[in-house]
Structure 1
Amino acid sequence: MPKEAHTKAAEHHQNAAKSHTAAAESHGKGDHAKGHEHSAQALKHSTTAHGQSEAAHAKSGSALKK
């Protein structure tokens, strides 16, 4: 179970990175509306990733104690 939690967190971190890259590219092209949209997606993924990472860490710690 902890491995699945870590994998899920990693997927959200990767999605956040992709959204950050897309935002930077859009801003670089002068498409600031699209850049802000990608930035908002990146924030959402980053927030979810953080929560998933904390949950995975908690599960890993409880699995070690058993």
Structure 2
Amino acid sequence: MTQVQTKDQEAMQKQAPQQLHQKAAEHHEQAAKHHKEAAKQHESGDYKAAAHHAQIAHGHTVNATEQETEASKKYANTHGSQK
């Protein structure tokens, strides 16, 4: 893990769950935007641009998943299964 990734993770851990959910939603919206653009570019025959937008969409999906994971950790601490 790089130093930048470590700092990003530390910053996420300090955020409230609602902030993490909001960021995840924003990343999902950006991913959808780029998937739609990839579809348009693919339809027009510009496969290079389509691949570029698909890759950007994937990056946003990864970021959203990271935010969701951090939010889930916060719930697990207080709402985990009790035996």
TM tier, smaller: 0.7 to 0.9
Q: Deviations over 1:11-53 (max 9, x none)?
A: 1111111111110110011111110100110111111111111
Alignment match, 1:38: 53
Superposition pairs for residues 1-66 of structure 1, below 5 Å? 1-64=16-79
* Normalised TM-score (structure 1): 0.86
Deviating runs (4+, > 4 A) in structure 1?
none
* Higher relative contact order, structure no. (Cα contacts within 8 Å, ≥ 6 residues apart): 1
CA RMSD of aligned residues (A): 1.4
Structure 2 unaligned residues grouped into runs of 5+: 1-15
Alignment: residue pair count:
65
| Structure 2 counterpart of 1:30, one-letter code | G
Unaligned runs of 5+ in 1: none
> Percent identity among equivalent residues?
37
Query: Which deviates more, 52-61 or 2-11?
Result: 52-61
